Structure 1
Amino acid sequence: MASWPDFWRGLARDRRGNTLMLVAGMMLPLVAFVGSGIDVSRGYMAKTRLQAACDAGVLAARKVSGTGLTDDGRKVGDEYFNANFGQSSFGSRDVDFTLSQNGSEIIGSASAKLDTAVMRVFGQHVMALGANCRAMQEITNTDVMFVLDTTGSMKDVNPGDSVSRFDAMKEAVTRFHGELEAVKPNGAVIRYGFMPYTSTVNVGYSLDQDWMVDKATYQSRRIDKHVSLDGKTQYVRNDVKNGGSRSERLESTYPAVYNDGGESGLSYYSCPTRPAGNATVKKTLISSREELVLTPRPGTRTIETFNEVINGTTYRAVLNGTTCEVRATDNSGYDHTFEFVTEPVGLTEITWEYAPITYDVSKLRGLTSGGSIKAKINNDGSNREIPWYGCIEERQTVAAESYDPLPAEALDLQIDLVPNPSDPATQWRPSLPGLVFMRPNVDPVTTTAKYANLVDHWSGQRFCPAPAQKLQPMDGVQLEDYLDTLVATGATHHDIGLLWGARFLSPTGLFRAENRGDQVRHLIFMTDGYISVGVKEYDAYGHPFLDRRRQANSAETPTAAMLNQEVENRFLALCKATRARGMTIWIVAFGTELTPALAQCSGGDKAFQAANSVELQAAFRKIAGKISKLRLTK
């Protein structure tokens, strides 16, 4: 048996069991190391998500806010942040996200606290997380062409609005302009162009002289022969009030009666009814005399002098647009004396030929404003001055079953084709509704009937919108001045508006010398209605009923449905051709349905529907946001 000293010396040399002691000694730092790895990993993932949420929130706020940080921008920014980092993401708490603005930048700041899972054993209970983010919009050289529906329905007021569609459109365009200008960096150029459209466009004053024809044919009339006749005319003169009183007032209104025009083929409105009235009239012949006259026709003039006393009310119906106004005249002992004159006149009976007639329009070429020609088309055979307001008729076209691809013969649909001065088929014609007369059918006719001139019938330049504007930089005052020139009139033809908007924007066509460059090109097409082609309303292709330029079968009487479909087919083909030239099309349907054709035109997610002015501004704000470059700066 070993002695005690040997036992202790042996125990000192024995190393069995040392591992357990070492493990026990290392357990605490090992737990601390593993625990910190777990908590740091959680913290890293939470901070990464917090930064992503901050970026998403600030980008959304910048996109929605436009030029400044708006309440809507804050709301949307918060929504995007919360969607990416909720109040308990990764077990976090005290999550906070704030937004502020510095110039064109929107600044975001996010913070959160994350309770530790293991490190709390060692006194580290909370990890503080933070993220900063910035977003701004900048725009490079950009061209924006507005193609604006300025037809008569733009005078209407949408449900929920207090202003007309026209005024709402102008406000939306003004705000759009302000948003783009606010994010434009030094050295960048933004140009704005405008193409108001109805059934035609007003581009004539922007065209080179060689792009317009010397002679053009219109559905007009000319004198076939004169016949002189004797006649009489009667009129009242020297009407003198002796006493009593008379006053007029508006009694009532009612819708005018629509008439199809009968033989003339021209529709019109009339006011066929009015109250009978209860007036009593005492009319007394005071004297009568005759005198010889030599002019305007030799013969005898008869002059009768009457006294008239009226009591009671008389009525008359006055046409005001499509409304009849019944006006009452109240008489109380109204006493007056007047002369009733009958005298000879020379009458000329004219036989007219109504047919396609060619006129010299060369003096209208190359004008930048105004212009007129003269034609002997007045009812008495005298000259009438026919003004030109700048609108055009399109060049040669063909009707086709399909416009994809565009038919080569349809020169009107060639966006970039520059006219050949020696080929009138490639040139444009001045729009002159003052020369145009309706007739019962498409065949020429010779008659003494006086069919109505379109301008007389449709009240002036109803067919012609405001002049278009080529692309140019514009400040706020210039923009407002231009928008004030727009008028709401006419019918809706989408194809002609888009066609000329693309022509003014294209870098390879009529205005390539002005449009060359590295700018980005956007076309914003806004309309408030469906395509509406009037069979008997003059447009960019002449008179649809008489000219039939868009019909494959000219013997077939056109219908509105037929013409509307033709315009839609051309519109869609032009949409595709415009996009193929690198131009982005944005569509806004305002106060109307976003039709399949409108949605298809943009070629993607660039079509908007706006029911009122607030939604219209939101649509334009979204377009401005997508046109400008939205990016994170930190």
Structure 2
Amino acid sequence: MHQSDGRAPDASPAHGKGFLTRLRSDSRGNTLAILGAALVPLAAMIGSGVDMSRAYMAKTRLQSACDAAALAGRRVMVNDTLDTNVRTEATRFFNFNFQQGLYQTRPFTPSITRPTSGTIRVSASTRIPTSIMRILGFDSMPLNVTCDASLNFVNTDVMLVLDVTGSMADPLNGTNKIVSLRDAVMALYDELAPIQTQLEANGMRLRYGVVPYSSTVNVGTLIRGVNPDYLVNSSAVQSRVARYDQLTYVGDPDPPQAPVTQVYGSSISQTDCDKYGRNVAFSGFTPSANQGGGPAPQPSWTRTFSNDETSGVDWGWPGAPDTSSNSRSCRRHYVQVNTPTYETRYRWSATLWQQEPIDVSQYKLGTPIQIATAATTISNDNDVTNDGYVTTPGIYDGEELGVAGAQITKTNITWAGCIEERQTAAPNLITSTTPANLAIPATAYDLDINLIPTNDATRWHPALPQLAYSRTSSTSGVNSPVGSACPAAAVRLTAFTRSAMQSYVNALTPTGSTYHDIGMLWGARMLSSGGIFHDSPDTYNSMPVARHIIFMTDGQMDTDPGIYTFMGIEKNDQRVSGQAAPTEAELNGRHMQRFKMICNAAKSLNISIWVIAFGTTLTSEMQGCASNANQASTISDRNALIARFRQIGSNIGALRLTQ
């Protein structure tokens, strides 16, 4: 009898099962077989990941190079023209950012085209070799990039603040600087002309304003056009006055009466007859009174005696009592003129130099006013009746004398449009170094860009150079007249035509001294979204507005305390320095501090400032005024100035990638 050991029956050929059947049911060693079968697709997956990562890095670098090239090419494009300069610059940037052969890419040449107006397109195609995928038959992968760059113009307002001081008439490298400036402005206009057309076609706008400046600015017509009440009616001017207090009576005689004949009481010689006719004493004759009445202004009379002592006329005339001897009858005639009334006049006695309130209520409206052109009005013939006079004694300024004076040389003057600035802060509040933070003091109404006038302290003054005189410390000391200048009238923002812009810049004439602060101040005022003009709103037709000031000067700050400027006559008014005799360095420094404060305030109004030093040093103050270092430049000749204005035009929009 056999006993079981509890094991399963033996699955062996001895039990009748074949080899394949046993192999199918036996799982031992299967993992190795599966791994071997998976090696091929696994290698493909790992290889493609490595090669794809490498290709991705190469394409990212290639795309960056493409973007840089497109931006560089668009930045230098002029007049919307794809030229050699554009292609060279774009290619240079492309090759700098992606050298040939980088990542073992095949050689290629970037394609640079202009698909639409204002757009530069850069395209590049190459192939990068694979490392692992080549075992699967893929020896390289394609890399293709395309990018577009354009200037993203929105509504754009450009204010040209242009130095037109006397030195602009000087030549620089063979061309007068004012001529170079005219050409440069027109180059800017031509650069932006296609953009202006595009903007207008899309309901937007590109406008220009211009502020020529020297020792003042010509903005009076613009202020008056907004509201004449923004200008004072009475302006205190360093001037001269005349005292008229010499009392003089000038008679108003009646017409001469009929002649009266008188006969001498006895016969006399021809010589004595002549004296009798002239009412001259001789033996036995006492002259008659030739005047009576008075004194003035009481009624009076005068007699004028005469005769013709010729024989047979008034000495022994026909029918006379005695006609034949050396002593004959003699007669004479007189004409009496009565003066029943007298005019009371007051003649000049002295001239004084002092600050004088001048009535400008009509002058500011553009109405001509009459002024006296001479203070001393004593005639040269010693005849008081020919002297200048007034009928009421007093002290008269030039305008008052132009109205009240008689027998005085006069002329009509009309306001040219230049101004004196409104009230400023005490001199100790703004020095050449303070305030350090460039904050404008509350009492410096003149530096407040957006302050709207409400009283005389905040109103502007029409300049009166014809009545401006400087003086020494006393009213009798004089150094007159003073120098003054009035540049071309400023223009508010407008969509200039090319011919209008050309006509305007052609009329710019160099004059005056260099005061940068007044130019920048009015450039900011006329480009602000607030203030009396509020010409540049933040949006127009629901689109934002970009604001730019292009500030160009050919010189450094050049002040003079003895000339008439937008701050009056500094040696007498002392509005900026508080001194009668500030040094040039002191006065320059104070005005430059004001310039810096205005630049700072303008930039806070989202105004982008470009500064060009033309034939002069680009100072740290000028550099600091620009919105960034790239927007400040120094230029040495006409061609460079034109190029710089074009470059500003090509950069004035927001350069961006569009693809």
Q: Same fold (TM over 0.5)?
A: yes
Aligned to 1:632: 657
DSSP 3-state at the match of 1:620: helix
Contact 1:593/1:609 (8 A) holds in 2? no
Task: Quote the offset at 1:626 in angstroms.
Answer: 4.2
Does 2:386 match 1:374?
A: no
Correspondent of 1:623 among 648, 653, 656: 648
Does 2:158 align with 1:132? no
Q: How does 1:466-615 map to 2 (within 5 A)?
A: 466-512=488-534, 515=537, 517-518=539-540, 519-552=545-578, 554=579, 556-605=580-629, 607-612=631-636, 613-615=638-640
Structure 1 residues 396, 606: CA separation in 2 closer, same or farther (over 3 Å shift)?
Answer: farther
Cα displacement string for residues 358-402 of structure 1 (whole angstroms, at most 9, x for unaligned residues): 3222222233xx845423436656224444321111122232243
The Cα of 1:204 is off from its aligned counterpart by 0.7
- What CA distance in whole angstroms lies between the structure 2 residues aligned with 1:220 and 1:533? 21
- Alignment partner of 2:112: what SS? strand
CA distance in 2, matches of 1:111, 1:6: 72
Query: 1:474 deviation in Å?
Result: 1.3
- Contact preservation (8 Å) 2:348, 2:376: no
Deviations for 1:189-215, whole angstroms, at most 9, x for unmatched residues?
122111111010000111131122222
SS at match of 1:565: helix
Q: Tell me the equivalent position of 1:194.
A: 210
Tell me the residue number matched to 2:112. 99
The Cα of 1:587 is off from its aligned counterpart by 2.1
- One-letter amino acid of the counterpart of residue 561, structure 2: V
Query: Aligned pairs, how many?
Result: 495
* Number of the residue aligned with 2:465: 433
Contact residue 386 and residue 435 of structure 1 kept, 8 A:
no
1:470–1:504 CA contact under 8 A, matched in 2:
yes
Query: What code does the residue aligned with 1:577 have?
Result: A
For the residues of structure 2 that align with 1:372 and 1:117, how far apart are their CA atoms?
93
Cα distance in 2 for partners of 1:377, 1:97 equals 78
Name the Cα RMSD after superposition.
3.2
Deviations 1:432-481 (A, max 9, x none): 22222344x232117xx8x5423xxx5xxx61110000111112222212
Aligned to 1:256: none
CA contact (8 A) 2:570 2:577 kept: no
Letter of the 2:488 counterpart = A
Amino acid at match of 2:132: V
Are the aligned partners of 1:442 and 1:545 in contact in 2 as well (CA < 8 Å)?
no
Residue of structure 1 equivalent to 2:297:
none
Tell me which amino acid in the other structure corresponds to 1:505: L
> Where in structure 2 are the equivalents of 1:158-177 lying within 5 Å?
158=172, 161-177=173-189
Supply the distance in 2 between the matched residues of 1:204 and 1:530 (Cα, whole angstroms).
Answer: 26
1:329 is aligned to none
1:213 — aligned with what?
Answer: 232
- The answer to whether the aligner puts 1:415 opposite 2:428 as a matched pair is no
Q: Check whether the contact 2:159–2:550 (CA below 8 A) recurs between aligned residues.
A: yes
Q: Which amino acid aligns with 1:143?
A: D
CA contact (8 A) 1:416 1:506 kept: yes
From the superposition, tell whether residues 125 and 383 of structure 1 become closer, same or farther in structure 2 (CA, over 3 Å). same
1:61·1:106 contact (CA, 8 Å) conserved in 2?
yes
1:207-255 CA-partner distances (Å, limit 9, x unpaired):
131122222232222334699xxxxxxxxxxxxxxxxxxxxxxxxxxxx
Shift of the 503–216 alpha-carbon distance from structure 1 to 2, 3 Å rule, reads: same
Secondary structure, counterpart of 1:587 in structure 2:
strand
Aligned 8 A contact 2:528 2:535 in 1: no
Write the distance in 1 (CA, Å) between the matches of 2:538 and 2:368: 31
1:87 positional shift: 0.7
CA distance in 1, matches of 2:352, 2:131: 100
The answer to whether the 8 A contact 1:592-1:609 is kept is no
**Matching residue within 131, 135, 138 for 1:117:** 131
SS state of the match for residue 93, structure 1? coil
Cα shift at 1:85: 1.5
Distance 1:28 1:407, change over 3 A: closer
- How many angstroms apart in 2 are the aligned matches of 1:20 and 1:592? 85
The 5-angstrom pairing of residues 123-522 of structure 1 reads 123-158=137-172, 161-183=173-195, 184-185=198-199, 186-207=202-223, 208-224=227-243, 351-367=350-366, 371-377=368-374, 382-398=409-425, 399=427, 400-401=429-430, 402-403=434-435, 404-420=438-454, 423-439=455-471, 441-445=472-476, 452-454=480-482, 463-512=485-534, 515=537, 517-518=539-540, 519-522=545-548
Contact preservation (8 Å) 2:242, 2:376: no
CA distance in 2, matches of 1:215, 1:82: 69
Structure 1: distance between partners of 2:188 and 2:609: 16
Whether 2:104 is the aligned partner of 1:73: answer: no
- Rg (Cα) greater in structure: 2
CA contact (8 A) 2:626 2:632 kept: no
- Runs of at least 5 residues in structure 2 that lack an aligned partner in the other structure: 1-11, 247-346, 378-407
TM-score by length of 2: 0.68
Percent of residue pairs identical: 37
Partner of 2:276: none
Describe the SS at the equivalent of 2:158.
Answer: strand
- Give the aligned partner of residue 62 of structure 1: 74
Alignment-derived partner of residue 263 in structure 2: none
Question: 2:209 & 2:550 partners in 1: Cα distance?
Answer: 10
Deviation at 1:614, TM superposition (A): 4.1
What is the distance in 1 between the residues matched to 2:630 and 2:453? Answer: 33
Task: Name which of structure 1's ranges 190-199 and 77-86 shifts more when overlaid on structure 2.
Answer: 77-86
Matching residue's letter, 2:65 = A
* Offset of residue 551 of structure 1: 2.7
User: What residue number does 2:97 align with?
Assistant: 84
User: Is 2:370–2:410's contact at 8 Å kept on the other side of the alignment?
Assistant: no
- Aligned residue number for residue 327 of structure 1: none
- Higher share in strand: 1
Cα gap change, 1:32 to 1:603, in 2 (>3 Å): closer
**CA distance 1:617–1:6, shift in 2 (3 Å):** farther
Amino acid at match of 1:521: R
Q: Provide the C-alpha distance between the structure 2 equivalents of 1:482 and 1:96, rounded to a whole number of angstroms.
A: 47
Deviation at 1:356, TM superposition (A): 2.4
Once the two structures are TM-superposed, the CA of residue 537 in structure 1 deviates from its matched residue by 1.9
Paired residues of 1:386 and 1:432 also in contact (CA < 8 A): no
- Name the amino acid aligned to 1:430: P
- Asked if the contact 1:57/1:79 (under 8 Å) is kept, the reply is yes
| Secondary structure of 2:106's aligned partner | strand
Is the CA contact 2:124–2:144 (under 8 Å) kept in the aligned structure 1?
yes
Output the amino acid matched with 1:474: F
Partner Cα distance (1:165, 1:5) in 2: 118
Q: Which amino acid aligns with 1:453?
A: P
Question: So what's the TM-score if we normalise by structure 1?
Answer: 0.71
> 1: distance between equivalents of 2:369 and 2:92?
61
Secondary structure of 1:188's aligned partner: coil
1:187 shift after superposition: 1.1
